[in-house]
Amino acid sequence: MFSVLCNRVWYAVYFTLLHPMLKWLLRKVTGKCELLRICYGEQVGAPRTRAIEKSLKHSKFQALKRLLTDNHVNIDQAVEQILSIKSITVEVHPQFQPTIHICLTQICGYREFITELESVRKTPYSSENNRHEEMLLELWRKLMPDVPLQSRYNRQWGDIGFQGDDPMTDFRGMGLLGLQNLLYFATQHNSTARQVLAHSHHPQYGYSFAIVGINLTGVAHQLLISGALKTHFYNVVQGKPKLDHFHQVYCYLFHEFDKFWLAEKPHIMEFNKVKAKFAKRIVMHLKDRNATLSMKCVTSEAK
């Protein structure tokens, strides 16, 4: 408790007194504001964009701070605003404008993407929606191509890891997003998904494929909300993330979780403990500012 209090005091003192003094000194010495120094000195991707984000957060100008909270930021106008406030001449620093434009697009795009993803997550699965039903049936066909589904409501769904006769009830936590993630994995990485499904049938260390998949949607969602996924997206997406980018992260997580689970050799009753350990491991990985969550060894198999 005392160490936490000390850290908070140091953080407040540093960003209230020391950081502004250091910024002023560096500007006098280099002739460049902090944003310029970052654009010239930081590696492209998460290192640069996260540094820009941090600089804006601690700026003395409220107009710059608001770029991190306002909705529907006009990026072109925001860039012009930064050039004006920081007295940056485009002719002298021609690379600054396109560089800061990319960084702002990533920063604002990440925040906007959270809102869009929440809309999908909060959309409940409905058996009365033909599109939802077709997606569910397609999931079966992708995972069990040689086994016909006898009827929409039956115990066969347990073969791919659902809990009862009707998978609809299992999607309540993550809504339509849970189904979309599963279907993307089964479609874009079909042989890998089927291999993971086979692993889930292990006689001793098996697990419920679909239920675990929906739980991993929850893990991916939490990584996004917490900001941990900024490292990955800032490194691999030049602009605003799209749903497919999130699906790709999900595929990585499912693939890696399957390996992690089999290495741990747990009992199914230890699932929550293993999931928490796995999620912590991913968060630690994303603390490396060059980290990505990419299935480098798995090629797309969409047909």
Q: What is the pLDDT of residue 6?
A: 54
Q: What is the pLDDT of residue 1?
A: 57
Q: What is the pLDDT of residue 277?
A: 98
Q: What is the pLDDT of residue 16?
A: 54
Q: What is the pLDDT of residue 32?
A: 75
Buried-state track 212-226, b at ≥16 Cβ within 10 A, e below 16 = bbbbbbbbbbebbee
Q: What is the pLDDT of residue 295?
A: 78
Q: What is the pLDDT of residue 14?
A: 46
- Residue by residue, pLDDT tens for the chain (303 residues) are 556 455 664 444 445 555 555 444 444 455 478 999 999 999 999 999 999 999 999 998 999 999 999 999 999 999 999 999 999 999 999 999 999 999 999 999 999 999 999 999 999 999 999 999 999 999 999 999 999 999 999 999 999 999 999 999 999 989 999 999 999 999 999 999 999 999 999 999 999 999 999 999 999 999 999 999 999 999 999 999 999 999 999 999 999 999 999 999 999 899 999 999 999 999 999 999 999 998 764 444 444
Map 152-195 to HEC letters.
Answer: CCCHHHHHHCCCCCCHHHHHCCCHHHHHHHHHHHHHHCHHHHHH
CA nearest 79: which of 237, 30, 93?
Answer: 93
Distances (CA, A) of 141 to 180, 186, 240, 282: 15, 9, 32, 31
* pTM across the whole model: 0.88
CA–CA distance, 200 with 77 (Å, rounded to integer)? 51
What is the 3-state composition of the chain as percent helix, strand, coil, each rounded to the nearest 5?
Answer: 70, 0, 30
